[in-house]
């Protein structure tokens, strides 16, 4: 039984899905990270996508 979910992190500017990571099943927080986006060529805010 899987106790982890894969999150997809997408750029909030161009909507590219650039990062993946795992976390536990609890959904008690929203993930937002500043990450480098290749299509944008700069650091942008990445958010959880479904």
Q: Which residues bind Zn ion (CB under 5 A)?
A: 11, 13-14, 16, 37, 39-40, 44
Query: By C-beta, is 3 or 20 nearer to Zn ion?
Result: 20
Nearer to Zn ion, 13 or 32 (CB): 13
Written as one string, the DSSP assignment of the chain is ---EEEEEEEETTT--EEEEEEEES---S--EEEEEETTTTEEEEEEEE-
Tokens of 36: 């480098």
How near is the Cβ of 38 to Zn ion at its closest, in Å?
Answer: 8
Residue number with CB closer to Zn ion (7 or 40): 40
């Amino acid at each position: 039984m899987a106790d982890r979910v894969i999150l997809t992190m997408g750029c909030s500017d161009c909507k590219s899905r650039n990062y993946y990571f795992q976390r536990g099943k609890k959904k008690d927080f929203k993930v937002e990270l500043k990450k480098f986006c290749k299509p944008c060529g700069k650091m942008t805010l990445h958010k959880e996508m479904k």
